[in-house]
Structure 1
Amino acid sequence: MALQPAHEGKEAKKDPQSCAGSSMQLFTWEDIGLCTDQGHPQQKQWLVIDWKVYDIGQFYQRHPGGAQIISYYAGQDATDAFTAFHANNALVRKYISSLLIGELAQDQTSMEPSKNVSKLLVEDFRELRATIERMGLLNPKSLFFVLIFLQILLLEAAGWIALWYFGTSLLPFLISAVLLTTSLTQAGYLQHDLGHLSVFRNPKWNQVVHMFVIGQLIVSTDSGSSNWSKLTHNQHHAKPNCICKDPDLNMHPTLFTLGKVPSVELGMKKKKFMPYNHQHKYFFVTEYLYFPKGHSPKYECFSGLCRHRISDCLVFLCLHRVLESIWFIWLLFMSHVPMNIDYDKNLDWFSTQLQATCNVDQSLFNDWFSGHHNFQIEHHLFPTMPPCNYWKVGPLVKSLCAKHSIEYHCMPLLTAFADVVQ
């Protein structure tokens, strides 16, 4: 049966406050834009998922994934983001059925009209995802994560045994710091995968183990750290390198400014009271100041090994933090900072991720050193995918990029580090 003309949508444009009228109305993108006001989100906030129009104005604050991440797609097509973040889409659709107010009219495109959006690209990417699902590449890999966990425990034990057996002389002191830093960093990769629901099929198991890893294997004992890391990190994935939407760009503008657009804006405002044009010089100092919240009980154990010598404890903690900061910050920056940074242009999911992320060459060392985050493109396109499968998906993504003349950025590890400074 053919869809009726979008006459209900025309009425909506005349009276925006009554837009959410009877169910299953037909709307145009103009209607959706008119009924979306991010300045007053509780009044009007619509988005589209698979041609269906949802009013999230009264729901976004109760969104389990956070209020901001769903609001980022107000007035936009959120189909691919919805699919990427939710492991069980069918179940989630039942929960949001009460928010359904209508659907796009037949004469509308599946995405908001834009010269930057290719309908063919969107269709090809969705077919690619369907192919990956059929191949089982989104399914958890238990053995891989068991080996990662055992590696963390082994490194942790080796670090403490080195101190206990050899004492706190210089060489065992340094060896222990390196071993524990490596253990902590690898635990950070594990908590990242848990936060993306990549380890267990049941989301609750991912959440429970995520809290354990955050509180025991990593330094933070803050009860809110697990939720904080998931919510802010998912915001980054939703709109990477988008000014005002990606929390990873939230640095003090007088100290750091990332991307050409913010730099030009600050220049026009004549904010020259801090030398942000020399940020590449003092970055090497300030990166060492990264300290996660809280501390783990394992450092109380170190105090006992040092026989409560406070000087040894402080030196060890500082060295440990410096090494961790160097590792963490460079890996955080290398896949995003050299890429395009701009305001949200409402691109399709594939284009949004490709313009904001780049890969680092594959090798056994690079895979281990980065926790497989050298495949940042594949990780951003499929955030719930186990990291051990990224290399299998890479050729398929490259093929899609070649078909649509989109550059697939991949570089050597040292080049990626150099690009951060540049």
Structure 2
Amino acid sequence: MPGIRSTIPTARTDDRPAASEFTELSKMIRDRGLLARRYGYYWTKLVAAPVLLGGLVVLFIFVGNTWWQLFTAVGFAILFTQIAFLGHDAAHRQIFVSGRWNDWISLVLGDLLVGMSYGWWQHKHTRHHANPNKEGADPDIDLPVLSLTHDQVQQRRGPLTQWLLAHQGVFFFPILLLEGLSLHASSVRRVSMRAHVDRRPAEIAFLVLRLGGYLTLVFLVLSPGIAAVFLAVQLGLFGFYMGVSFAPNHKGMPLVPRNMRLDFLRRQVMMSRNIRGGRFVDVLMGGLNYQIEHHLFPSMPRPELRRAAPLIEEFCRAHGVPYTQTTLFASYAIVVRYINRVGLGERDVFACPLVEARQSI
């Protein structure tokens, strides 16, 4: 997928026809009933999540202080990630019409069951959805460890830093093993700060119960050595699973310069990538593989994304809007290649026809 150069003059699309395009698409999606609530689907998942988690805790206690617990660590990592996907759906108002119901479901699923602050995630993720891949606006391309833009590379000096940047694609997947620990730490830090957090007392109580209770359970059942390895495996795989589910969606797609404005349709479609792979990938990635549809219609219930995808793809083709999709492993190759090329100092990693056409005017 071609990308957008990082140094271009201010450019703006004609908002009036662009707005009418998205209005037309929205009407088509709504008329097909694709934004209707799917209560049966979600209530099944909402009931299954605590039941499966409770069953896994019972199994953990039953297995006892043995190295077989590493298999339950894998189970916890997978289940926590799937619950996080469900919390993501609730946070986007996909489950209930009531915003209050969605908020509380997000708090229970995120804070109490997974140990991730809903307030922290909402603050970060809302900014990402508003400006995906926009420099200076999207927190998902402003990472403390990796450099995803030319300017970030220029700001990081020193021989060791430059060597790490030149090889950062190699370290991308190993770094994801630390993401689980980072998610928990960021959550605790957010609710501890003075910055506004809705329902802060509930978040603090849920996080204390989840994180404190989980650690207490682990160290009561397991000896210190096995407990340490168990936590390393569980947190590592949880972070890795989360990372490889979110990374293919935008990394390596066009970067939008700070001074460039795009209409909503192009801003969401051109900066996102879908992942093909059938229903197995749908379940594996929690619906995040339909990133284009999700960014256009964040409140669309997860099971409807699959039905909406061919309609939106056809609409984008008809209106000349690039619609990108690839396989899961091909997307990882794109991400690693992109990160490496940025780290090596390439400014114009891609050349975007949209920007080139505007520059030639």
Give the TM-score range, shorter chain: 0.7 to 0.9
Mean Cα displacement is larger for which, 159-168 or 403-412?
159-168
CA–CA separation in structure 1 for the residues paired with 2:152 and 2:74? 40
Match of 2:215 in 1: 299
Q: Does 1:183 align with 2:79?
A: yes
AA in 2 matched with 1:281: V
User: Structure with the greater relative contact order (CA < 8 A, sep ≥ 6): 1 or 2?
Assistant: 2
Alpha-carbon distance change, 287 to 154 in structure 1, aligned in 2, over 3 angstroms:
same
User: Superposed, which structure 2 residues align to 1:39-54 within 5 Å?
Assistant: none
Q: Does 1:386 align with 2:301?
A: yes
Contact residue 243 and residue 341 of structure 1 kept, 8 A: yes
Q: Per-residue deviation at 1:163? A: 2.5
Match of 2:108 in 1: 212
Q: Deviations over 1:234-257 (max 9, x none)?
A: 1100000001100111223xx422
- SS of the residue corresponding to residue 360 of structure 1 reads strand
Match of 1:238 in 2: 130
1:407 to 290, 308, 322: 322
* Bigger Rg over Cα: 1
Paired-residue identity, %: 24
CA–CA separation in structure 2 for the residues paired with 1:279 and 1:376? 25
Q: Does 1:197 align with 2:93?
A: yes
User: Superposed, which structure 2 residues align to 1:260-339 within 5 Å?
Assistant: 262-263=149-150, 265=151, 271=157, 273=159, 274-275=161-162, 276-290=165-179, 291=181, 292-293=183-184, 295=211, 297-306=213-222, 309-339=223-253
Alpha-carbon distance change, 310 to 411 in structure 1, aligned in 2, over 3 angstroms:
same
CA–CA separation in structure 1 for the residues paired with 2:152 and 2:289? 32
Alpha-carbon distance change, 146 to 362 in structure 1, aligned in 2, over 3 angstroms:
farther
CA–CA separation in structure 2 for the residues paired with 1:341 and 1:372? 23
The two structures, once aligned, show a CA RMSD in angstroms of: 2.2
Contact residue 73 and residue 233 of structure 2 kept, 8 A: yes
CA–CA separation in structure 2 for the residues paired with 1:362 and 1:183? 21
CA–CA separation in structure 2 for the residues paired with 1:115 and 1:204? 37
Q: Per-residue deviation at 1:165? A: 2.7
Q: Per-residue deviation at 1:127? A: 1.4
CA–CA separation in structure 2 for the residues paired with 1:364 and 1:211? 28
CA–CA separation in structure 2 for the residues paired with 1:375 and 1:296? 35
CA–CA separation in structure 1 for the residues paired with 2:322 and 2:105? 37
AA in 1 matched with 2:147: T
Could you list the runs of 5+ residues in structure 2 that have no partner in the other structure? 1-9, 189-210, 338-361
CA–CA separation in structure 2 for the residues paired with 1:198 and 1:266? 35
Q: Per-residue deviation at 1:317? A: 1.0
CA–CA separation in structure 2 for the residues paired with 1:403 and 1:331? 29
Q: Does 1:369 align with 2:265?
A: no
Q: Per-residue deviation at 1:325? A: 1.2
User: Superposed, which structure 2 residues align to 1:109-188 within 5 Å?
Assistant: 116-117=13-14, 119-171=16-68, 173-188=69-84
Contact residue 74 and residue 233 of structure 2 kept, 8 A: no
CA–CA separation in structure 1 for the residues paired with 2:96 and 2:272? 26
CA–CA separation in structure 1 for the residues paired with 2:294 and 2:247? 15
Q: Normalized against structure 1, the TM-score is what?
A: 0.66
AA in 2 matched with 1:402: R
Which structure has more helix as a fraction of its residues?
2
Alpha-carbon distance change, 161 to 361 in structure 1, aligned in 2, over 3 angstroms:
same
Q: Per-residue deviation at 1:115? A: 5.5
CA–CA separation in structure 2 for the residues paired with 1:184 and 1:119? 44
- SS of the residue corresponding to residue 297 of structure 1 reads helix
Alpha-carbon distance change, 230 to 269 in structure 1, aligned in 2, over 3 angstroms:
closer
Q: Does 1:419 align with 2:316?
A: no
- SS of the residue corresponding to residue 170 of structure 1 reads coil
Alpha-carbon distance change, 380 to 164 in structure 1, aligned in 2, over 3 angstroms:
same
- SS of the residue corresponding to residue 130 of structure 1 reads helix
- SS of the residue corresponding to residue 153 of structure 1 reads helix
Q: Per-residue deviation at 1:397? A: 0.9
Q: Normalized against structure 2, the TM-score is what?
A: 0.76
Could you list the runs of 5+ residues in structure 1 that have no partner in the other structure? 1-112
How many residues align? The count is 297
